[in-house]
Structure 1
Amino acid sequence: MSVQLTTTAVTVLSGFVPSAVRATAQALLLADDRLVSVSHDITGIRDGTVLRTVRTATEVLEHETIRVEHGCVACTLREDVVPTLARLAAGPAGRDLLLVLPHTIEPESVAAACGRMTGIRFDSYVTVVDTDRFLDDLTSTDDLRHRGLHAADDDHRTVADVVVHQVEFSDTVILWSRRTSDPAHVDRLGALVHRLAPWAVQVPTGTTRSLDIGGLSALVRGTRRHDPQRPGLLGLALEGRAVGVSDPASSVVFRSRRPFHPQRLHDALDELTTDAVRGRGQLWIASRPDLVIAFESAGGGVSLGSLGHWLDALPAARWTEAGDQRRFAAELSWDPYYGDRNTVLALIGLNLDDTALIALLTSCLLTDAEVADGFGAWRDLPDPFRDFFPPR
């Protein structure tokens, strides 16, 4: 006798405007009476409490306040979200789940915590963009703390950080609009969202009085759009994947094999982020030729971090530490002098002067004379980033 194993499909729903996310969740629940949603109210998380609700379109199955040991989002994911999904997946066959995230949670953290669960397939990561609010939040310079939305005392994320990370990680974006929404404005936002997440399928809800919940559900659920092998956004270029699309006045993708001069790049950061609502990618600076540097900007702020070492800076025996796709991409584009080192940056906005941005970035690169000085001399260049990436 053979036993057929069933797998529960989970759709993850995120978005920064709670009313739009709730409306979307209710529409999906109404379209399928077997669908069960799981949501967590984390407004009390700084005091160590979280409210979990499990429901169908017509019935509340669970409504329970739980204590989380350390009062943090990661703890909530580990201590309640994961076991709750596992417990519900073991329930009646044929019942899929809708995980509705709190509006300040970034879906990539969920993927990291839940990626290897047995008996569960994460079908798609869906982000709801409220077309009436999105642009204001995307261009906001507010921290979550300014709006009382921070999850912990050390949560220093900005509103713009959360908004872009929700959209960029998604494989599906619902453009939630209303009868009063301007169709032309919705179209413009759709174009902007495409620049932010060209890999995502867009699902507009329209501007009529009614919503086709069956049509919405068919476009969102059961799509198998989530690719669990896709790297985090800042690792895309290392695998040879696109970090953006080039489009005059709205998106610039800048590439270079030669490194940035650290001082000139530092001096140009404010100008680079003045018109671009979003910047992302990888770069290398001459004073740290071994290090892959992640670059992010949103809400007027800039973040730099480490993505590890360039393969050319590692002994060949350690190349197996990198994934197959990264090694393949490096081999395809290998430079006899720079190795796999390269800069790939995407800058996205509404009215970009792409010619001026490319000229500014180019002016920050090493000159021919500086390149001729060689790797050894580059380490002694004046470097305002040295405290961020201390020499090893």
Structure 2
Amino acid sequence: MDNEVLVEKQADFKIPVTVLSGYLGAGKTTILNHVLNNRDGLRVAVIVNDLSEVNIDAALIQKEGGLSRTDEQLVEMSNGCICCTLRGDLLREVERLAKQERFDYILIESTGVGEPVPVAQTFTYIDEEQGIDLSQFCRLDCMVTVVDAYRFWHDYSSGETLLERSQGAHEEDHREVVDLLIDQIEFCDVLLLNKCDLVSDKDLNELEGVLRTLQPRAKLIRTEQGKVDPAEILNTGRFNFEEASVSAGWMRELNAPVHTPETEEYGIGSFVYVRAKPFHPERLMRWMEEWPEAIIRAKGIMWLATRSLQAQSISQAGPSIQFGPAGLWAAALPESEQHLLLEEEPELADSWHPMYGDRINKVVFIGIDLQRAEIEASLDQCLLTKEEMQQDWDSLMDPFPQSQQEACAIN
């Protein structure tokens, strides 16, 4: 009977997977080496992704001797990114390793310019093109993001693109460094704040407060020289795609029925700006060009008077401000579709305006020493006046890109 139970358990076993993300130089390889040298006999397969043709990180891991040459395997995935160009390769490689039935665990070190969401999706959804369903063999256990405590603010405020740093995943990779940093922070289960020994206690406490506000769900652990208890990132059972997808601080704020400010230690705070009145495009553009430095992160939807059919999405992190179409307002849909939508989402009816429907400005602002009253007052000045509300809105000056297919970057 015991043997039958054992066979059944083995058949049900799915190899747990931990993914290490984090910007270049944050210390992912150092952490990986530390874990490999303190893993209590786990047979581990390691996949290291590097953009260059020579996989430097893999070479470092081999040099450190963290893997057994006979029991384990190091897979190098070079000259591409597993979240885009090498995604198919990742699928096939993980499937191959899992089918060998030789490993207790798979550790993946993503490239420093990789986004975590596409990698997580690789383990969560069936890939129709490749015909591979990794969920049959593996379970994504933990998404880990490593943050460089020493260089975070430098990279955050640099205003540079990955291409300007010669770090782009491809020739058309126009992402800004700060956007990548925020993407990695806002989707994870564990945040490792590394190189804490290089930062003062005061600065470290402030940075930790910012990270907790940006990502309130993840467990935040301070580390020095990449030394972390392996149990914090291996076999944690922390990953849940649905929870991770809505874990960003701005999203929790935006969806909360009532905003209850937490203790604003180190001046770190947030608020939601809500107004059921459209913005004057020209005045809003001028406001964005003088963006308050205290705002670290902003995200939400805006209502432009000249674009009454489509909501506009705004996403800001540091000097990077992205603004563009976010889809039709429910009020812009045919009446039959409106009725169906209101049946599916009855909460929409609670704030439905008899003339403007669901059109609204709703933006979360997160920052340090935010002057809420001043920011709200300055934004209110950008809304249409009573007189302008009676005018033809299409005649207003609109400096934003005219193509609704484009998003504009305001720096």
Counterpart in the other structure of 2:155: 137
* 2:126 maps to 1:118: no
Letter in 1 for 2:39: A
Q: Secondary structure at the match of 2:27?
A: helix
- The change in CA–CA distance for 1:121 and 1:322 in structure 2 (over 3 A counts) is farther
Q: Secondary structure at the match of 1:74?
A: coil
CA contact (8 A) 2:48 2:77 kept: no
Counterpart in the other structure of 2:395: 380
* 2:261 maps to 1:253: no
Distance 1:337 1:89 in 2: 58
Counterpart in the other structure of 1:389: 404
Distance 2:341 2:295 in 1: 32
Q: Secondary structure at the match of 1:58?
A: coil
Counterpart in the other structure of 1:75: 85
Unaligned runs of 5+ in 2: 126-133, 407-411
* 2:115 maps to 1:96: no
Distance 2:45 2:260 in 1: 37
**CA drift at 1:113:** 4.5
Distance 2:49 2:379 in 1: 43
Q: Deviations over 1:217-241 (max 9, x none)?
A: 46x8322354368369699489836
Q: Deviations over 1:326-365 (max 9, x none)?
A: 8355345434343222222223333433222111111111
Matches within 5 A, 1:34-45: 34-44=43-53
Distance 1:239 1:276 in 2: 16
The one of 30, 34, 59 aligned to 1:27: 34
- The change in CA–CA distance for 1:133 and 1:96 in structure 2 (over 3 A counts) is same
- The change in CA–CA distance for 1:65 and 1:342 in structure 2 (over 3 A counts) is closer
- TM-score normalized by structure 2? 0.77
Counterpart in the other structure of 1:167: 185
Counterpart in the other structure of 1:85: 94
CA contact (8 A) 1:159 1:299 kept: no
Distance 2:154 2:389 in 1: 43
- The change in CA–CA distance for 1:157 and 1:135 in structure 2 (over 3 A counts) is same
* 2:235 maps to 1:216: no
Letter in 1 for 2:109: V
Matches within 5 A, 1:316-327: 317-318=336-337, 327=345
Q: Deviations over 1:286-318 (max 9, x none)?
A: 111221221122342321132211222223554
* 2:307 maps to 1:300: no
**CA drift at 1:370:** 2.8
CA contact (8 A) 2:26 2:194 kept: no
Q: Secondary structure at the match of 1:288?
A: coil
Q: Secondary structure at the match of 2:164?
A: helix
* 2:174 maps to 1:156: yes
**CA drift at 1:321:** 9.9
CA contact (8 A) 1:51 1:64 kept: no
Q: Secondary structure at the match of 2:299?
A: strand
**CA drift at 1:285:** 1.0
Distance 2:103 2:335 in 1: 49
CA contact (8 A) 1:277 1:300 kept: no
**CA drift at 1:386:** 4.5
Distance 2:52 2:22 in 1: 16
**CA drift at 1:109:** 2.9
- The change in CA–CA distance for 1:64 and 1:17 in structure 2 (over 3 A counts) is closer
